[in-house]
Amino acid sequence: MKEQIQKMGRFLSGMVMPNIGAFIAWGLITACFIPTGWIPNETFAKLVGPLLSYLLPILIGYTGGKMIYDHRGGVVGAIATAGVIVGADIPMFLGAMIVGPLGGAVIKWFDGLIRGKVRAGFEMLVDNFSAGILGGILAIIAFIAIGPVCQFINEALGAGAKFFADHGLLPFVSIFVEPAKVLFLNNAINHGVFTPLGAAQVAETGKSIFFMIESNPGTGLGMLLAYWLAGKGTAKASAPGAIIIHFFGGIHEIYFPFVLMNPILIIAMIGGSFVNILVLTFLGGGLVAPASPGSIFAELIMTAPGSYFANVAAITLSAVTSFILSVVLLKAFGKGEDLQEAIARKDALKAESKGAPIDASKVDAILFACDAGMGSSAMGETMLRKKLKEAGLEHIKVLHSAIDQISGNPAIILVHSQLKDRVKSKCPGSRIIAVTDLIGAPEYDLLVKELAGK
């Protein structure tokens, strides 16, 4: 069930994440040129509405269709999205997430239906007209039915969020957000749920608290600082490096294993997130666009004018809260490895890592996979490439990819242990190596030694 939830979350966030640059562009234009912005300009402010209402939903719809059926699916998805945009009076992010993939699925079904039945020389004619006709029909259906329904759902969600905010209940969403994050649903939550809600709120108020619920790096910082102070063994040793990567690099996945090795720490993470949302609500903080990746630099750049004190206070106090709670919990419940446990763990890792023998002469590339193909996999790629170079194996390429975008059966795939089952089901013929510590994983050294024939 966890694997299916991850897949669904990845699909939703996958429509938004490739377009984060467009969200940031819109957010910066909004922050600069609206009447309450940094440099108000009535002429340039005319860009804000069209970017929000047309560009962003169409990009999402195109991406959703492309995920189903490449460029052709993306085109039909974008056409259908235009219908849902015109059929509603609010930004149609939800509608785009529905009709974009629907458009891709419909044209894929049609192409499968007529495959091998089109006369030679008529292929382009059929391709173009089928996409246009089906896209037009979907646009009309979206305009008449899907747009109004999505508007009703959006208004209901907005009313629910407003109710939580008005009654001081918004901090309680941390009870659901933090456990979901450590199960690698962070991108699904941030970009699949909070980014659309935040964009709609920015259109009304010029900033949104939703952009900081998941992305705030303070909560993870406090927990990692606690490991540095009160942790044991390899966790304590790797905490400083994880702090730099998490807080300044914005790769939150780096701290998930620290929570998973002591699950009781989820209480500290919920506490830090609760304080974050509480402070933002009380002081009126928020961002103008998604902070992606969730580093302190991105948070400050995307901070709305007049909200710097609130946002910095939220980040600081959430870090302090999670730090204090984490120290207490580590002292009371923290697990440490003795020598025999460490040796047993190393032997188990070595056995799992080796698997079937590798013919190093036939390995020309290694793939590092993660949920989104951006954060942890890119970092793992860099670290493994460095180790291969030091071992004189720089001819072996190291690549990174999102799990859903892996093609074929690469010879060797590295992936975080929480995502291993998804890779296994997608690439049954590949050698899959699961890692838990993205910084100091012993699997890196074991693999390099094996490839070097040592």
Q: Give 260 or 179, the one with higher predicted confidence.
A: 179
Q: Is 357 exposed, middle or buried (0-12, 13-18, 19+ CB in 10 A)?
A: exposed
Residue 59: its pLDDT value, please?
A: 94
Euclidean distance between CA atoms 454 and 197, whole angstroms:
53
Higher pLDDT, 99 or 214: 99
Please tell me the predicted confidence (pLDDT) of residue 342: 42
Confidence class for position 357, pLDDT limits 50, 70, 90: low
- pTM score, whole prediction: 0.63
320 class by beta-carbon count within 10 Å (0-12 exposed, 13-18 middle, 19+ buried)? middle
pLDDT of residue 158: 63
CATH architecture of the domain with residue range 356-451: 3-Layer(aba) Sandwich (3.40)
Higher pLDDT, 231 or 279: 279
- Of all residues in the chain, what percent carry a pLDDT higher than 70? 84
pLDDT score at 430: 82
Structure-token pair, residue 412: 């060797």
Q: What percent of the chain has pLDDT over 90?
A: 27
Residue 208 pairs in a beta bridge with 287
pLDDT-wise least confident of 223-232, 269-278, 370-379: 370-379
370 is catalytic: yes
Task: Sort 71 into a burial class: Cβ within 10 Å, 0-12 / 13-18 / 19+.
Answer: exposed
293: preceding bond cis by omega (within 30 degrees): yes
Residue 223: per-residue pLDDT: 93
Contact 423, 369 (CB under 8 A): yes
HSE-up of residue 446 (Cα within 13 Å, Cβ side): 19
Average pLDDT of 280-305?
88
pLDDT band at 343 (very low <50, low <70, confident <90, very high): very low
Answer whether residue 351 shows pLDDT above 60.
Answer: no
- Asked whether residue 133 carries a pLDDT value surpassing 90, the answer given is yes
Identify the pLDDT of residue 187. 63
Q: CB within 8 A of 156, min separation 6: which ones? A: none
Q: How far is CA 371 from each of CA 181, 221, 346, 366, rounded to the nearest angstrom?
A: 12, 22, 26, 17
Between residues 6 and 452, which one has the greater pLDDT?
Answer: 452
Domain segments of the chain: what residues? 43-167, 168-336, 356-451
pLDDT reported for residue 101 = 94
Determine the Cα–Cα distance for residues 165 and 184; give it in Å rounded to an integer: 26
Residue 240 has pLDDT above 50, yes or no: yes
- Residue in 265, 367, 372 with CA at minimum distance from that of residue 321: 265
What whole-number distance in Å separates Cα of residue 375 and Cα of residue 279? 28
Q: What is the mean pLDDT of the chain?
A: 82
Q: Give first-to-last CA distance, the chain, whole Å.
A: 40
Number of Cβ within 10 Å of residue 274's Cβ equals 22
DSSP character at residue 303: B
* Range with the poorest average pLDDT among 65-79, 170-184, 185-199, 301-315: 185-199
